[in-house]
Amino acid sequence: MLFEDNLAFLVIKVLIIFVGTIAMMASTTRFKTIRKKAVCAAVISGYVVFVVLSTFLIIRFFGYDIFMRVFILTISCPAILIFCRLSDEPFSKLVFTGATHILASLYIAATVTLINTALHGNELSDILLRLISYLLAVLLDLYFVRHIWLDLVGMIKKGWGALSLIPCAFIILSVTAAIYPEHYTKRPLSVVTLYLLGAVIIAVYFSIGSYLSLQYRRLQSKQNEELLNLQLENIKKESADIEALEKQTKIIRHDLRHIISTVAALAESGDTQAILDFVDNFAELPNEKGEDRK
């Protein structure tokens, strides 16, 4: 049930999908410190207004199917560009992250539509199902995916350009399977095709995850090796310092034995004045810093 005659519902539906997708993207993105917060808030607010107005006008004058064919240009691409301005992440990495969440959002939206259609639900049930679905998706990202994702990709700097093409290609395939030649809810075979494609997407992302995990372990091993080498250099330096200290200690011990022997010999002879003169002469000798020992 698309409820294509209810324009207000369609705009609200798109707005829920839009907000849910943006929240999913934000949950796995590191943002830089924003100094001009008022300007940033104005840009985001203007973007939201643009999304609502463009959605309303496209659906009103061209129909929902046409909107589904152009939403990537009117909604998705501007969102990624805005995230690029707000984040320190490389553009290619943001494209990969954003396109991945857009792809996931497409399947969430399609699944909710199919469930509501199967249950013969109305507009209200559709809205409630979408709100619950996107809320669960955002919470999943925040409490489970975010930590793993940011740790996994934080160290990887290269290869995102090629990887970003994968979710972009899957988005095009999914949209094509869903709306050509007509909406997937009107063609049972398209539903099967759409979810078979979803199985392929999961397999591909499993491979991507394995690749990123391997890269992460390699980079971590390299960092550990560099840390061990630094620790080894510190140990060598400390060992050299200890060796120098041992040599100095041996010299001091030798001098001390000489002093003790001299004092003992003078003491045996009973020459007290000679002992005092020897001690005074030793005290007047300069130390290592060129200062008197007194």
pLDDT digits (tens, 9 = 90+) for 74-93: 898 888 888 888 887 788 88
pLDDT of residue 294: 43
CA pair distance 75, 47, nearest whole angstrom: 9
Tokens of 16: 């829920």
CA pair distance 217, 223, nearest whole angstrom: 10
Query: Which neighbouring-strand residues pair with 31?
Result: 87
Is residue 57 very low, low, confident or very high in pLDDT (cuts 50, 70, 90)?
very high
CA pair distance 158, 156, nearest whole angstrom: 6
Provide mean pLDDT across the span 20-24: 91
Q: Which sign, positive or negative, has the C-alpha torsion 68, 70, 72, 78?
A: negative
CA pair distance 162, 93, nearest whole angstrom: 10
209 contact partners, CB below 8 Å, separation of at least 6: none
Evaluate if residue 244 carries a pLDDT over 70: yes
Provide mean pLDDT across the span 180-191: 78
Lowest-confidence region among 21-30, 43-52, 149-158, 276-285: 276-285
> Which of 100-104, 218-222, 232-236 has the largest mean confidence?
100-104
Q: What is the pLDDT of residues 128-175, one digit of tens each?
A: 999 999 999 999 988 888 877 777 676 677 778 888 898 889 988 888
Kindly list the domain boundaries of the chain, sorted by start residue.
7-186
pLDDT of residue 290: 46
